[in-house]
Chains A and B, each alone.
Chain A
Amino acid sequence: MLDFLGDNSWMAGAVLLATWETIYMVLTSTVLSYLLGLPLGIILVTTAENHVMENRSLNRVLGSIVNAARSIPFIIFLILLIPLTRFLIGTSIGTVASIVPLTLAAIPFVARIVETSLKEIETGLIEAAISMGANARQIIGKVLLPEAMPSLLLGVAITAINLVGYSAMAGIVGGGGLGTLAYYYGYQRYEDTVMWITVIVLIILVQGMQMLGDNLANKIVHKRR
């Protein structure tokens, strides 16, 4: 199958390793960013005016922090975070080190994506739960999250896909994965084949993640109809 590579069959191993590194970085940082981004998104929604934990000053402060974090371009974010990454991981090079900026950059993004999904819930449903005597925790756990589940899952797919792109950027500054591969061999050594293979693998990865997200979301929606 890899005959067309001829003498370059070493590429297969390199691409496989880089693909695994990318998947590892993306999945880990997606999971980690949701650990913080999901609660943050929930707080952004529920502290808004007339919501179950209304707190307008907290809402405004968090909203501004999220906006500020989101307005920094990722490539600059990467450089800004090098000291922090060194402190946490001991180095700023490699796959594990990349997870730090990827996660931190994704958290505000996840928070907004979650916020958007939860805002779609009709106020009537929340009022019905309030009228039954539900507290804020019950409303979040039993109304907001389950009702928004299809939309939340699509948000996870969007986040992961975004992180695929970010991870490639991280790769250029030594983050590992497909980005590093494409940069070292494709750009610095003029190995076009590596470049193209990387592109194809990225397309397949992104396609796969989107399909997985769509399928899961559709399955839930379908079950409810």
Chain B
Amino acid sequence: MIEIKNLSKIYFASGQEILALDDVSLTVQKGEIFGIIGLSGAGKSTLIRCINMLEKPTRGSITVDGRDITLLGQQELRLARQKIGMIFQQFNLLSSRTVFDNVLFPLEIARVPRPEAAKRVQELLELVGLTDKAGMHPDQLSGGQKQRVGIARALANGPKLLLSDEATSALDPQTTRSILKLLKDINRQLHLTILLITHDMNVIKEVCDRVAVIDNSRIVEVGDVLEIFSNPRTPTSHSFVNAVISREVPVELLHSSTERSGGTASKLIRVSFIGASAGKPLISSMIRRYNVDVNIIYGNIDRIKDTPFGNLTLEVLGYPGLLQEALDYLHGQGLEIEVLRNA
């Protein structure tokens, strides 16, 4: 759906060059929800704004639905933009217009005949659950309702791609969840590709299929959300994941250990389990098969998009040979094992 190749953006501010994007390449598949996460100033906002040319890239190409958007003329670009919806952190609704007329706005721009446009607005308001607010003005709505209007407006011209620029960052956690659910629903119902940027790993966790981590103007890691959560490879990804899921083992536990009888060894391990394996009694069957003892240090279970995802920190005690076999057994069952301490 989107193919970004070697994209760079340089700003000139008070005589200085500022590199906002440094050779970014990225592919977003049709129908997926793709998240870009980064701290403020990392370049994510510039990146998403390049995709509909609100920012002109300095170098590189951006192909949206088969066409390089950086090469389009003014008129072609305007037509292309009508098929790329965008929602904003500050909603950007027109206070001079009612909810109905705000959703009508992009249809006016595209010169859709009035009766057809009015019908379309009704459908969209129904989709976002605001039929009863049609005659109100944006200032009379809550933040969540405003963003629903923003979503309805972004969908008016039937786009194939929706860009979300920190759309939930101005909302409270509960409203954020309901807006994310709406995004997930329209992604499924309308087969809409969604590219969102956020600084909140919860947003990635709730809705995204894949994620790119941007740091200091560069993409440092791209992958399935589950993969990044279970095995973050860069320090930046690590800290984002830790912000949502506690993976750190307290230092004292790394150095202390349970008393054990002679000849046995102990290992402190972290087991990550994803999806179906989260439902199987693998730990207890390991204990029975290999005659090991297990001391549960820490555990949690979470949901990433629609997949259960869990972490267990265990101290496993047993005879060295059996201990290793026990870990191999878990690994063989599809669990991710990380040894934190050997003793």
Which A residues lie at the B interface, using CB under 8 A?
122, 124-125, 127-135, 138, 142-143, 146-147, 149, 223-225
Contact = CB atoms under 8 A, between A and B. Distances in A.
Interface string B62-99: 00000000000000011111101010101010111100
A129 B88 contact: no
B88 A124 contact: yes
Contact of A133 (B78, B94, B163): B78
B109 interface: yes
B110 interface: yes
A132 B87 CA distance: 10
Contact of A131 (B84, B95, B137, B140): B84
A100 B17 CA distance: 51
A132 B94 contact: no
Contacts of A128: 86, 88, 92
Range, interface on chain B: 20 to 34
A209 to B, nearest CB: 24
Contact of B90 (A124, A133, A224): A124
Interface of B: 52, 54, 77-82, 84, 86, 88, 90, 92, 94-97, 105-106, 108-110, 137, 139-140, 153, 157, 163
Contacts of B84: 131
Contact of B105 (A122, A124, A130, A132): A132
A224 B106 contact: no
Contact of A224 (B52, B80, B137, B157): B137
Contacts of A143: 94
A130 B54 contact: yes
B109 A147 contact: no
Contact of B92 (A127, A133, A135, A138): A127
Given A124-B92, A225-B137, A129 B97 contact: no
Nearest to A134: B109
Nearest to A131: B86
Nearest to A123: B92
